[in-house]
């Protein structure tokens, strides 16, 4: 594709580009905490659990739609049950979020287990979620199309309503994090001193994990597992490599996420690729460049 055609493609896919950038920026912000709290595997586990939820929704969608049709035509009061089924059938994110909350409960709750290392619990949750995803996808009507959508997302198919939903969810998450920046930072850095100071550490941790789970759920539905996980890790690594202060690290992470999403989008159009690999390549390239620059400085 020529550069002129790429420009035309960008014009035609403005909504998709906006969706990709929104996902990238939100994941990058949360990713700084994910990396600092050394819970990258938690992020990966939650992403897989969320994907299993979406796969379950793909599988259950036709069944739910069938039930909805049956009950809606059965008359009052079962009509309302039918509407509920109909509502659920077109919102896979809800099924996914419920499962992700289960993942949050599992991974966060056992973080102080004395009998098992945390990684092993996350690993068990990850393989279970992976196996379920595979099972649900193989049984779903669309099969391989669903696999590709789960891995690479469907950002190009995003509508204005999708972007509005993302803006609401991600805006809410970021507003909460901005409002309670001090508390979340203190609890992440020194939970013991925070607890001694009267902070309810468990509740702040729960707030963090629920917002992370919600973000991953909504992001995966549109951008796919690969992009979401890479946005959670690579920009944060770049930010923390480049900067020596929290604020600067977040800014660099956001800039890196913006470049990865935008650059990846352009490269995907140019060479007719799925969106995730070029975005990851740009993210890795930036990380490499910053690391080399840091070492030589």
Partner 1 sequence: MTPLIRLDRATLGYGSPVLRNVSLEVRRGDYLGIVGPNGAGKTTLLKAILGMVKPMDGTVEVPRTGHRIGYVPQRDALDTLFPLSVLDIVLMGLYHEIGPVARPRAKHRAQAMEALGDAGIADLADRSYSSLSGGQKQRAIIARALASRPETLVLDEPTNGMDLPAEESILVLISHLHDEHAITVLFVSHLLHVVINNASRIAIVSDGTVSVLDREAIISGDHLSTVYGIPVRVARVEGRAFVIPGPAPADPAP
Contact at 8 Å (CB) between 125 and 45? yes
At closest approach, how far in Å is the CB of 28 from partner 1?
15
In this structure, what token pair is assigned to residue 261? 């999403």
- Residue in 216, 10, 191 with CA at minimum distance from that of residue 100: 216
Tell me whether residue 63 or residue 189 sits nearer to partner 1 (CB atom): 189
CA neighbor of 152 nearest in space, from 3, 264, 247: 264
Q: How far is the CB of 6 from partner 1 (least distance, A)?
A: 37
| Structure tokens, 171 | 């805006």
Residue with tokens 């140019």: 270
| Local structure of residue 142 (DSSP, 8 states) | S
CB of 120 to partner 1, least distance (A): 21
Task: For the CB of residue 90, give the shortest distance to partner 1 in the complex, in Å.
Answer: 37
Residues that bind partner 1 (CB under 8 A): 35-36, 38, 179-180, 182-183, 185-186, 188-190, 192-193, 195-198, 240, 243-246, 248-249
User: Which residue number, 134 or 193, has a Cβ lying nearer to partner 1?
Assistant: 193
Shortest reach from residue 56's CB to partner 1, in Å: 36
Burial of 245 (0-12, 13-18, 19+ CB in 10 A): exposed
| Nearer of residues 143 and 202 to partner 1, judged by Cβ | 202
Q: CB of 189: closest distance to partner 1 in angstroms?
A: 5
- Residue 27 CA to residue 168 CA, distance in Å, equals 15
**Between 130 and 180, whose beta carbon lies closer to partner 1?**
180
Q: Dihedral of the CA atoms 129, 133, 134, 137 (nearest 10)?
A: 170
Q: Which is nearer to partner 1, 38 or 295 (CB)?
A: 38
Q: How far apart (Å, rounded) are the C-alpha atoms in residues 169 and 218?
A: 8
Q: From the CB of 246, what's the least distance to partner 1, in Å?
A: 5
Is 247:224 a contact under the CB 8 Å cutoff? no
Which is nearest to 31 in space by CA: 221, 173, 224, 133? 173
Nearer to partner 1 (CB atom), residue 4 or residue 114: 114
35 vs 225 by CB, closer to partner 1: 35
């Amino acid at each position: 594709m020529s550069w002129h055609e790429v420009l035309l493609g960008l014009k035609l896919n403005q909504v998709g580009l906006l969706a990709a950038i929104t996902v990238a920026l939100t994941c990058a912000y949360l990713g700084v905490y994910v990396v600092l709290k050394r819970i990258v595997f938690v992020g990966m586990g939650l992403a897989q659990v969320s994907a299993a939820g979406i796969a379950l929704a793909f599988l259950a969608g036709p069944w739910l739609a069938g039930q909805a049709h049956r009950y809606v035509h059965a008359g009052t009061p079962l009509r309302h049950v039918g509407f509920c089924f109909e509502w659920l059938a077109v919102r896979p994110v809800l099924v996914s979020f419920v499962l992700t909350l289960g993942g949050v409960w599992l991974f966060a709750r056992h973080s102080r287990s004395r009998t098992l290392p945390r990684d092993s619990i996350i690993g068990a949750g990850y393989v279970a979620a992976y196996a379920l995803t595979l099972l649900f996808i193989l049984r779903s009507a669309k099969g391989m199309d669903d696999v590709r959508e789960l891995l690479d997302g469907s950002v190009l198919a995003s509508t204005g309503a999708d972007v509005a939903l993302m803006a609401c969810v991600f805006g809410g998450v970021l507003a909460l994090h901005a409002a309670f920046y001090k508390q979340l930072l203190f609890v992440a850095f020194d939970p013991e001193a925070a607890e001694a100071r009267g902070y309810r550490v468990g509740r702040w941790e729960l707030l963090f994990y629920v917002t992370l789970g919600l973000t991953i759920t909504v992001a995966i539905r549109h951008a796919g597992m690969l992009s979401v996980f890479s946005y959670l890790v690579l920009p944060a690594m770049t930010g923390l490599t480049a900067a020596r202060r929290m604020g600067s690290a977040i800014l660099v992470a956001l800039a890196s996420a913006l470049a990865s999403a935008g650059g990846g989008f352009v490269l995907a159009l140019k060479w007719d690729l799925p969106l995730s690999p070029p975005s990851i390549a740009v993210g890795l390239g930036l990380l490499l460049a910053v690391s080399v620059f840091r070492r030589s400085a």
